[in-house]
Amino acid sequence: MEQLEDFLRNNKPVVKDDPTFLLKTRQRMEAVEGIKAEVDRQRSHGCKALIVALIAGLAVGSAATAIAYLYPVDANSVGEGLLDSVRAFLTTWKQYLIYFVAALAIALGLVLTRSSKNPIRL
């Protein structure tokens, strides 16, 4: 057994001298940095878009509320038109709508469960 141990210690695998190894590593690291920067840039764009949407929503909502207060509408006059047809549609198709919403909720749940897994294992 000692002979085997000596054999192993005296015959360590020899790594080829490759001066480009570190250079290649550095290039791959720079590529990773590029991807990181792109992801950060897209995330920051997403944040900006969210803030703009929030401000726009607040502005439109405020304007709509202000208009509703300033120019009140008689609900009965509208009720005979659009609201009645919406109500009739919901009454007729409500069970299918419930199925649709339930299917969407399940699909969303599945998608969230799958995407929460960490892609990089160390």
Partner 1 sequence: MTEERFISQVREQQEPLRRFLLALCNGDDALADDLAQDALVRAYVASGSFLGLSKFSTWLFRIAYNCYIDYCRKNKPEKTGVEEAQALPAQETSDASFRYQQLYQALAKLPEKEKAAISLFYFEELSIKEISAILNIPQGTIKYHLSTGRQHLKQHLQTWNS
State in angstroms the smallest separation of the CB of 17 from partner 1: 9
Please identify which residue in the block is written with the tokens 């799958």: 114
The residue whose two tokens read 């659009």 is 82
Greatest Cα pair distance in the chain:
102
Site membership for partner 1, residue 4 (CB under 8 A): yes
Q: Are 97 and 90 in contact (CB under 8 A)?
A: yes
Among 70, 82, 112, 120, binds partner 1 (CB under 8 A): 120
Using the rule CB under 8 A, which residue among 73, 75, 112, 122 binds partner 1?
122
- Chain residues 5-34 in contact with partner 1, contact rule CB under 8 A: 5, 7-9, 11-16, 18, 21-22, 24-26, 28-29, 32-33
